[in-house]
Structure 1
Amino acid sequence: MRRPAMTIELDTDIDPRTLIRPGRPGFDDLRGTFNVLDDQQPEAIAVPTDADEVADVVRWAHRRGLRVAAQSTGHNASPLGSLRGTVLLNTSRLTDVRIDAAARSVRAGAGTRWRDVSPQLADLGLAALHGSSPEVGIAGYSLGGGIGWLSRKHGLQTNAITAIDVVTAGGELVRADREHEPDLFWALRGGGGSFGVVTGFEFGVQPLAQVYAGALFYPVERIADVLHAWTALLPGFPEEMTTWCSTIHFPPFPEVPEPVRGRSFTIVLVAFLGAEADGRALLEPLRRLGPAMDTVAVQPPSALHRQAMDPESPLPFRATTALLEELTPSAIDDVARIAGAGSPLGLVEFRHLGGALHRATPDAGARATLPGEIGMLSLGVVPVPEAEPAVREALGGVAAATADQRVGDYPNFVMQPTDASRFFDAPTWARLRQVKAAYDPGDLVRGNHHVPPAR
C-alpha cells in the first residue's frame, strides 16, 4: 500500500523549500535522531526559518488531518514512537540568541543548543542551569525540566524560564508568560511539548565567575569502594556542592582524549559554588581513596560545559533510568558486579539531587520539583544487533538492583514510549490535560511524552 506521505501536495502558501517529503534529498538526514536505533518515518519534514513559517506548517498540517511534532537535535526522540500521520517540524534553523547581561536574561530560538549559549555566558561571568551535554537542545531540555550542575542550588531550568513564544494548534503565534496565557505558560514549564510548537523563549541566568570543579578518576575495580564512600558523604554536602558518581567505559576512538581512551574508570564529578578551601574540605574523604587522576580545581564556569564527557555524536544505545530515595549498600554491591570491568554498559551514572530540587516556588510550572536524592541513568551501546541481549540484561540488572529505592522518574531521561501520567501527581496531570484541551482539543501537537486532552 502506498504511504500517505507520497500523495501529499504542497499548498501555494508553503515555500517548497520548507517541506521535504520521503525520497527527496535531505529527508533521511533530517529524520535522524541522537539515538540511531530510532527509525523515524514522518509523512514529511518541515524546516521553517522563522515563527511565521512554523505557523504556516501547523495550519497546513491541520487542513490535511496530519499532526505535528517539533524536534531540533533529536535527543530523546524514542518516546514519540511511530510518526505515521505526522509532520516532523525541525526547528534547527531557529537559532537566534540574545544575551542581556545586565538583566541576567537570555532570549534563544527553539533550535538553539547549549553550546551556542553557555560559552558566551561564561565570558560574561554568568551561567545557565544547563545540563551535562553542550549538544542538547535548550528547548527540549527546558520543557521537560532540566537538571544540571547548578540545580541543587538554583532548581530546575524550566522554572528559570520567564517567557515562551508558541505557535498554537490553531496556527496562532502567542507569547506565554505570567501575565499572558498563564495556563499555557505553566503547562509548558515541565509538562513537555504537547501544548504547542515553541519557537523561542527567555530565561534567567545566574552570576558565576568561577567554580571549583573537575573529576576524580579511580580504577574501575574500585567502583564499590567509591560508591560506598560517595553515598556516605551526600547527606553532609551543602546545596552549593553537586557531585555525580559514574562508571564509564571509554571507547578506543581517536576523538576520545588520550588519557582515558579505551580505558574504564569510576569517576566522581564535582561542581562546588563556593570557596576552594571549603570544597577541598568536603572532598577530602574521597581524595583519601587515592584517585588515579584529579582534575578538580578553580575554573571558569565554561569548564562545566563538557566535564561530564558525554558523547557528542549520535550513537545506537539502550538506556534505563530512575529517581531513587537512596542507594543502599546492597544495591551498590549489585551495581558494582554489573557495571565493572567487561560490562556491556558504557555508562552507569548516579547524580546527587535534593536541595532546591525538593522546593517548590510559588510561581513554578508543572514540574516544580523532583523526588528522590539520587538520579540514576544507565546506558549501553548497541553497535550490532547481536550486542542487544547482553545490554538489555545488564540494564535490567541495574534496574532490579535499585528497584526498592525507586520513587519516580525524570521525564527527560525516560527514553521509551510510556504513560506520561506517571510523571505527575493526579491534580497536576488533570490540569495538564485541561490546558491541552483548551489549546489543542484535536490533539494536533505531539510531545515526546504525550499529554492527551481532557475529554
Structure 2
Amino acid sequence: MSRSTTPPAAAESLRGLCGGAVHLPGDPGYDMASSPWNLQVHHHPAAVAYPASPTEVADVLRAASKAGLQVAPQGTGHGAAPLDGHLGESVILHTAGLSELSIDVENRRARVGAGVLWGDLTEAAGRDGLVGLHPSAPDVGVVGYSISGGIGWYARKLGLQCHGITALEVVLADGSIVRATADQEPELFWGLRGGGMPLGVVTALEFDLYPLETVVAGFLAWDRAQMDQVLPAWTQWCTTAPEEATTSLRLLTVPPMPQIPTELHWRNLVLIDGAVLGSDSEVAEILAPLRALKPEFDTVRRVPAETLVRMHLEPEGPTPGYASSRLMSGMPDDAIAAILDIAGPDAVDGPDITEFRHLGGALHRPNDGAALASLDGEFLVLGFGLRLDPAEWDHSRELAVRMLDTLRPWQTGREYLPMLDDRIDTRKAFPPGVHARLSALRAAVDPDRLFVGPHL
C-alpha cells in the first residue's frame, strides 16, 4: 500500500495544537509517530497528535470534529492490528504524554495517566509491597489493558483488572472532561470497565492494588517429545487446581533472548508457567502433580512479586507479529488429539507459538458493575505468528489461524476482544442485552461517531 505524503486539507487545521506536537503526512516525524507497537501494522492517519493534558485532548477532539475527521486514541499500539487500513480519515491521539503516576499506599490504590506502562507501575507499587493485576509484558499500557479486560497472573483468584477500576477521567466527544465512578457517571463507568467500545478518551484511571511482596512463580519445561504426556496431564490438573493457581501452557520454539538460559535457545518445548498464591508448603503440594512429570527445567520459586511482569518472556519493544484467540469450553481428549496432530513432536510446519491460559475461578464470577462481567470458558487459546522476515508473515499467520480453527468444535462462541488481531463484530463478545446497552451508551456519549474503535 502506498503511503501518502500529502495531508488531507482538513488535517491542516490541527497544526499548532498540543504545543506543536502534531504530525501530518510528509512531516519528518510522521512515520515514527504513526507506527504502532506491532510492526506488521502500517497506519496512514490524517494526523497524529500528542496531547500532554486532558485540556489538550479536548482541543484535539474539537478540532478533529470540526474538520470532519475521526479520532483513534492510542497508547502503545498493542491492539492496533484491527485498525490497519481504517485510519486514513482519522487522527491518532497518542497518549504517551499523559504520564501521571501516584501510589496511595494507605488505601492501596494507584492513579495513572494514559501514557504509563505496566513496567513503570509495577516497579513503583513494588517499592511499597503492592502489586496490580498486571499483564505478562511490561511495555503494555496500563489504561488500555485495564479498560479492555485484563487477564493477569492472579486472575483466577483476584479476577479481571477492569473490575478493580474505581474511577476514570474521561474526555468525551464534545470536549467535556468528566470523572466516572460507581456514583458519578455510573453508566459510563460501567461501559468503560471492559466494554471495548470507543466511548471517549480515558486520560487517567484509579484502581485497586494488593499487598503482595513475594509470590511463588516461574516455569516448568519439557522437550516437545513429551507433549503427549504433559498436555493431557496439565488439562486434568487444571480441573482441580485451586483458584490460587493461575497458569498457562505454551508450545514454542524458544527464542535466543538474553534472559533465557542459553541451553534452551531454539529448543522445541512444552512450557508451563504461572503463579501460585500461598505458603511454600501449600504451593509445593499444589504443583506436585506437575513436577511428577519430571520437567527438564524448573525455575519455580519464591520471587519478588514485581518481577512477574517479565516472567512470560514476551518481546519488549516494537515487534512484528500476529496474535489472536478463542475461548474454549474445555479440552477433552478429542481436542488434545487435534492439538497433538498440528503441533505435536511429529507435526510438520506447526504454528510458531500456541498458548493455553487456564481460566475459571474469579473469572467466572460475574461483576454486574462492569460491562465485561465475567469470562466464558475454561481456557483461552492463543495462536501467535512471530517472525522477523516480512516474507514469512502471511504463512506464520496462516499456521496460527489453522490451530484456532481446528479447535472450533470446543469453543464457546464468545470472543475476548483484547487478544484479537482480527476485526470482528463486537456482538460476539457480549450477551445481547449487554451489547445493546453498550450501543445505547455509545449513541448517547458519541452520537456523531467521532471515535473509531478497533472492532465493528
Whether TM-score is above 0.5 comes out as yes
Partner SS state of residue 287, structure 2: helix
Q: Using a 3 Å threshold, how does the CA distance of structure 1 residues 6 and 226 change in structure 2: closer, same or farther?
A: farther
Counterpart position of 2:403: 398
The reply on whether 1:381 has 2:386 as its aligned counterpart is: yes
Map Cα deviations across residues 303-330 of structure 1 (whole Å, 9 max, x no partner): 3111111111322222331010111222
Q: Deviations over 1:41-76 (max 9, x none)?
A: 100000011111111101110111111110011101
Structure 2 residue 227 is matched with structure 1 residue 226: no
The alpha-carbon distance between structure 1 residues 410 and 193, as it changes in their structure 2 partners (threshold 3 A), is same
Aligned-residue offset at 1:120: 2.0
Q: Does the Cα contact within 8 Å between 2:352 and 2:399 map onto a contact in 1?
A: no
Report the equivalent of 1:356. Answer: 362
Alpha carbons of structure 1 residues 12 and 270: separation in structure 2 relative to 1, 3 Å: closer
Match of 2:452 in 1: 446
Change (3 A) 1:246 1:197: same
Q: 1:288 aligns with which of 289, 292, 295?
A: 292
Q: What letter is aligned with 1:336?
A: L
Task: Decide whether the 8 Å contact of 2:384 with 2:397 is kept in 1.
Answer: no
| Shift in alpha-carbon separation, 1:294–1:11, aligned structure 2, 3 A | closer
Contact 2:383 2:401 in 1 (8 A): no
* Distance across 1 between alignment mates of 2:286 and 2:17: 59
Unaligned runs of at least 5 residues, structure 2:
none
**Alpha-carbon distance in structure 1 between the residues aligned to 2:166 and 2:256:** 43
Q: Look up the match of 1:51.
A: 54
Whole-Å Cα distance in 2 between the matches of residues 367 and 398 of structure 1?
26
Q: Distance in 2 between matches of 1:418 and 1:424?
A: 12
Mapped contact 2:16–2:22 kept (Cα < 8 A): no
Matched, 1:421 2:424: no
C-alpha distance in 2, partners of 1:402/1:119? 38
Partner residue of 1:186 out of 187, 190, 210: 190
Q: 1:15 to 1:383 in 2, by over 3 A?
A: closer
* Structure 1 residue 385 displacement after superposition: 4.5
**Residue of structure 2 in register with 1:136 after alignment:** 140
Deviation at 1:283, TM superposition (A): 1.2
| Corresponding residue SS for 2:281 | helix
Residue 313 (structure 2) aligns with? 309
> Paired residue for 2:254?
250
Q: How much does 1:16 deviate?
A: 5.3
In structure 2, what is the equivalent of residue 337 of structure 1?
341
State the partner residue of 1:202: 206
Whether 1:5 and 2:8 are equivalent positions in the alignment is: yes
1:158 counterpart (152, 156, 162): 162
Shift of 1:201: 0.5
**More displaced, 9-18 or 352-361?**
9-18
Q: Map Cα deviations across residues 378-405 of structure 1 (whole Å, 9 max, x no partner).
A: 1012433442454244223312331111
User: 2:122 — aligned with what?
Assistant: 118
Letter in 2 for 1:410: Y
Alpha-carbon distance, 1:337 to partner: 3.4
| Structure 1 residue 136: Cα displacement | 0.8
Does the Cα contact within 8 Å between 1:46 and 1:90 map onto a contact in 2?
A: yes
User: Distance in 2 between the 1:120 and 1:65 partners?
Assistant: 41
The whole-number CA distance in structure 1 between the counterparts of 2:258 and 2:241 is: 37
- 1:20 equivalent to 2:5? Answer no
Give, in angstroms, the shift of residue 180 of structure 1. 1.3
- What residue number does 1:69 align with? 72
- Which string of whole-angstrom CA distances, capped at 9 and with x for unpartnered residues, describes residues 344-397 of structure 1? 5332110110001111134x2101100001011110124334424542442233
Once residues 202 and 18 of structure 2 are traced to their aligned partners in structure 1, the CA distance between those partners, rounded to angstroms, is 20
Is 1:372 matched with 2:383? no
Deviates more, 1:117-126 or 1:256-265: 256-265
Corresponding residue number in structure 2 for 1:30: 33
Secondary structure of 1:35 counterpart:
coil
Match of 2:217 in 1: 213
Q: SS at 1:277's partner residue?
A: helix
- Number of aligned positions between the proteins: 449
1:325 matched to 2:329? The reply is yes
- TM-score where L is the length of structure 1: 0.94
State how far apart, in whole Å, the 2-side matches of 1:10 and 1:122 are.
Answer: 44
Instruction: Tell me which moved more, 310-319 or 12-21.
Output: 12-21
CA contact (8 A) 1:327 1:402 kept: no
Give % identity: 38
Q: One-letter code of the match for 1:134?
A: P
Gaps of 5+ in 1: 451-455
**Cα separation, 2, equivalents of 1:254 and 1:244:** 22
SS for the counterpart of 2:351 is coil
Contact 2:227 2:344 in 1 (8 A): yes
Quote the Cα distance in structure 1 between the aligned partners of 2:53 and 2:18. 12
8 Å Cα contact 1:244-1:352 kept in structure 2 = yes
| C-alpha separation in 2, matches of 1:250 and 1:23 | 40
CA distance in 1, matches of 2:392, 2:409: 28
Say whether the 8 Å CA contact 2:256–2:262 is kept in structure 1: no
Q: Deviations over 1:70-117 (max 9, x none)?
A: 001110101123101100000011111000111000000011110011
Identify which range, 15-24 or 428-437, moves more after superposition: 15-24
The Cα shift of 1:13 comes to 6.9
* Partners of 1:2 and 1:190 in 2: CA distance: 37
Contact 2:6-2:26 at 8 Å conserved across structures: no
Hey, what's the Cα distance between the residues in 1 that align with 2:265 and 2:58? Answer: 46
Distance 1:421 1:54 in 2: 29
Aligned-CA RMSD value? 1.9
C-alpha separation in 1, matches of 2:342 and 2:283:
31
